[in-house]
């Protein structure tokens, strides 16, 4: 709050000043960065201070502690050391360009700059703002996949727009499209397939729910987050082994699906509520769930497993063992779903209901039971997807579902709303598009590419790849 002047000391004025002060406190608290718990002193920009800051992570994604950086410019020299979170900041008092140098001798063992020629870096500082700069670590070529840029800011309140911005959102964004070499293409292709498979786990449920009940569930992203956060709680807070944590997380997810259908969706269906109203309800549910997650687990990034992942090199493509395991689990799960849908009676009944509920009911299928099953399965798979995605990207947070949701919709729409196999096909495509687009466009726009595909599909062929034309309109 700028310039809160207190004139005189009359009681009314004092009270007004108190109000203003408290308002500022309120605003400051609201501004309190949802960028997660920070340890150590962080520079705060104001009218006479600018901040130059950043966050350094190792190639595996862990914070790089104790790295020294120096800032020079405008007749000023300063230094900073990264704290336990890998963050560093330097306050300067003049606008202008500054050179930031990283002391490579202070990097953690085994780490090196990814672009050693890019040190020192030039940063332009302006009073009242914070400027971030990056020093990505790691060997060239082998990249951990970039974390999902969630919506970090709390939505709406005055001053929520943290003026400095979340420096680490830049982790992936500084990567300008590099040259298109075969190793990079292979790497991105592999990432794309893996991501696509994990996305498919989450999307299948979304597609089946739409097919059987006509509901476009905007809270499905939160089902994914639920799995990841549950795994985090079991693994990191209750210290259960990772495998157990994962299984429990999936069970939690499946149970939440059961509860939702029994307690909310079925009664509303019985009331005859239309699909648009239901959709708006899922939007409210999504908001309530997201902030419940934030309420209990805070606004920062969480890691399900803090073990340092080990990698293996498969023909030039570097994959962590964890990713391989995740891929195997995803393939197993998807295979199971495919077998279920094609090979079992219940599965075929599910496809029938998804195709044409009225007809299915007329042929004696217990539609309500199938819908319940779809909810349980869909939520369980989403939770599994959440656990695996959280492990794959090595990070999760309360709003992870937000970005994933749109990608899921893109995948499901592309593949054909209502068909599970369509969801699989669409997810693979979206995964590939997301990861491979970073070869040609800045990587923080990668999801924009996937979203553009969503829009184009809806315009050109709304029924998707595997859907049928009659479905629309």
Partner 1 sequence: MDWTRILANVVGEFFSPLTAAYAIAAIGLNIHFGLTGLLNMGQAGFMLIGAYGFAITTLAGGSALAGILVGLVAAVVFSLILGMPTLRLRGDYLAIVTIAAAEIVRLIARSTSMTWLTGGNAGIAGDGFKNAFHETCPFPSGNTTVLWWTYPNCYSNSWWLRIVAWVLVGLFCLLVWRLMRSPWGRVLKGIREDEDAVRSLGKNVYSYKMQALVLGGVLGAIAGIIYVLPQAVQADSMGRPTTFFVWTLLLLGGAATVFGPVLGSVLLWAVLMLIRSVMRDVIPMSVLSSEQIEAFSFITVGVTLMLLVIFRPQGILGDKKELAINVR
Judged by CB under 8 A, the residue of 350, 413, 427, 434 near partner 1 is 413
Q: Which is nearer to partner 1, 1 or 243 (CB)?
A: 1
Contact between residue 398 and residue 439 where contact means Cβ atoms under 8 Å apart:
no
Residue 244 and residue 120: Cα distance in Å, rounded? 46
Choices 96-104, 168-176, 302-310, 358-366 (CB under 8 A): range interacting with partner 1: 168-176
Residue 211 and residue 466: Cα distance in Å, rounded? 13
The residues in 94-113 that bind partner 1, with binding defined as CB under 8 A, are none
Residue 70 and residue 66: Cα distance in Å, rounded? 13
Residue 389 and residue 451: Cα distance in Å, rounded? 19
Please report whether residue 132 would count as binding partner 1 according to CB under 8 A.
yes
The residues in 316-355 that bind partner 1, with binding defined as CB under 8 A, are none
Q: How far is the CB of 356 from partner 1 (least distance, A)?
A: 18
Number of residues that bind partner 1 (CB under 8 A): 90
Q: Which is nearer to partner 1, 35 or 319 (CB)?
A: 35
Q: Which is nearer to partner 1, 100 or 317 (CB)?
A: 100
Please report whether residue 14 would count as binding partner 1 according to CB under 8 A.
no
SS3 state at 176:
coil
Is omega for the bond preceding 120 within 30 degrees of 0, making it cis? yes
The residues in 214-253 that bind partner 1, with binding defined as CB under 8 A, are 216
Q: How far is the CB of 31 from partner 1 (least distance, A)?
A: 9
Q: Which is nearer to partner 1, 133 or 188 (CB)?
A: 133
Q: How far is the CB of 5 from partner 1 (least distance, A)?
A: 5
Burial of residue 196, with CB atoms counted within 10 A of its CB: 0-12 exposed, 13-18 middle, 19 or more buried: buried
Q: Which is nearer to partner 1, 247 or 283 (CB)?
A: 283
With CA atoms as reference, report the closest residue to 402 among 273, 224, 266, 236: 224
Residue 42 and residue 167: Cα distance in Å, rounded? 12
Q: Name the strands in the sheet holding 76-81, side by side, starting at the edge strand that comes first in the sequence.
A: 76-81, 68-73, 96-102, 121-125
Judged by CB under 8 A, the residue of 43, 67, 130, 383 near partner 1 is 130
Judged by CB under 8 A, the residue of 169, 325, 361, 465 near partner 1 is 169
Q: How far is the CB of 167 from partner 1 (least distance, A)?
A: 9
Structure letter (DSSP) for residue 113: B
Q: Which is nearer to partner 1, 338 or 452 (CB)?
A: 452
The residues in 192-211 that bind partner 1, with binding defined as CB under 8 A, are none
The residues in 33-72 that bind partner 1, with binding defined as CB under 8 A, are 34
Q: How far is the CB of 126 from partner 1 (least distance, A)?
A: 6
Q: Which is nearer to partner 1, 374 or 457 (CB)?
A: 457
Task: Quote the distance between the C-alpha of residue 203 and its chain's center.
Answer: 15
Q: Which two tokens stand for residue 7?
A: 């004139």
Which residues does residue 101 pair with via DSSP β-bridges, in sequence order?
Answer: 70
Q: How many CA atoms lie within 13 A of 387 on its CB side?
A: 30
Residue 352 and residue 346: Cα distance in Å, rounded? 10
Q: Which is nearer to partner 1, 361 or 452 (CB)?
A: 452
Task: Quote the distance between the C-alpha of residue 398 and its chain's center.
Answer: 9
Please report whether residue 18 would count as binding partner 1 according to CB under 8 A.
yes
Position of tokens 């699906």? 257
The residues in 418-457 that bind partner 1, with binding defined as CB under 8 A, are 442, 444-445, 447-448, 451-452, 454-455
Residue 264 and residue 439: Cα distance in Å, rounded? 44
Per-residue binding letters, 276-315, with partner 1 (x by CB under 8 A): xx-xxx-xxxxxxxxxx-xx--xx----------------
Please report whether residue 465 would count as binding partner 1 according to CB under 8 A.
no
């Amino acid at each position: 709050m700028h310039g809160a002047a207190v004139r005189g000391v009359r009681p009314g004025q004092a009270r007004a000043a108190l109000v203003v002060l408290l308002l500022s406190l309120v605003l400051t608290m609201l501004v309190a960065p949802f960028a997660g718990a920070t340890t150590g002193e962080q520079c705060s920009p104001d009218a006479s201070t600018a901040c130059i800051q950043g966050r350094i992570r190792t190639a595996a994604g862990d914070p790089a502690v104790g790295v020294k950086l120096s800032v020079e410019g405008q007749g000023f020299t300063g230094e900073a050391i990264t704290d336990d979170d890998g963050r560093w900041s330097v306050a300067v008092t003049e606008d202008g360009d500054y050179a930031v140098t990283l002391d490579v001798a202070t990097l953690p063992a085994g780490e090196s700059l990814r672009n050693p020629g890019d040190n020192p870096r030039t940063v332009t500082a302006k009073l009242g703002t914070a400027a971030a700069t990056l020093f990505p670590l790691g060997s060239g070529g082998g990249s951990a996949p970039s974390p999902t840029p969630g919506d970090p800011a709390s939505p709406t309140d005055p001053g929520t727009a943290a003026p400095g911005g979340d420096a680490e959102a830049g982790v992936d964004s500084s990567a300008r499209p590099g040259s298109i070499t075969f190793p990079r293409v292979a790497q991105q292709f592999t990432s794309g397939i893996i991501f696509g498979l994990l996305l498919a786990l989450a999307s299948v449920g979304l597609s089946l729910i739409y097919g059987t009940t006509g509901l476009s569930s905007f809270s499905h992203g939160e089902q994914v987050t639920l799995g990841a956060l549950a795994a985090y709680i079991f693994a990191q807070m209750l210290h259960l082994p990772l495998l157990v944590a994962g299984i429990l997380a999936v069970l939690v997810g499946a149970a939440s699906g059961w509860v939702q259908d029994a307690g909310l969706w079925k009664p509303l269906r019985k009331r005859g509520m239309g699909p648009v109203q239901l959709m708006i309800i899922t939007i409210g549910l999504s908001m309530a769930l997201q902030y419940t997650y934030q309420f209990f687990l805070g606004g920062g990034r969480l890691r399900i497993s803090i073990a340092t992942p080990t990698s293996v090199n498969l023909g030039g493509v570097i994959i962590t063992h964890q990713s391989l395991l995740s891929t195997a689990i995803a393939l197993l799960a998807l295979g199971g779903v495919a077998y279920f849908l094609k090979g079992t009676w219940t599965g075929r009944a599910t496809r029938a209901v998804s195709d044409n509920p009225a007809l299915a009911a007329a042929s004696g299928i217990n539609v309500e039971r199938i819908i319940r099953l779809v909810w349980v399965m869909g939520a369980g798979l989403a939770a599994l997807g959440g656990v695996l995605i959280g492990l794959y990207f090595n990070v999760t947070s309360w709003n992870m579902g937000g970005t994933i949701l749109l990608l899921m919709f893109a995948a499901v729409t592309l593949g054909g709303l209502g068909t599970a196999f369509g969801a699989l096909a669409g997810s693979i495509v979206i995964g590939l598009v997301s990861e491979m687009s970073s070869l040609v466009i800045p990587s923080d726009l990668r999801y924009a590419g996937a979203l553009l595909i969503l829009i184009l599909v809806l315009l050109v062929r709304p029924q998707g790849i595997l859907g049928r034309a009659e479905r629309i309109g």
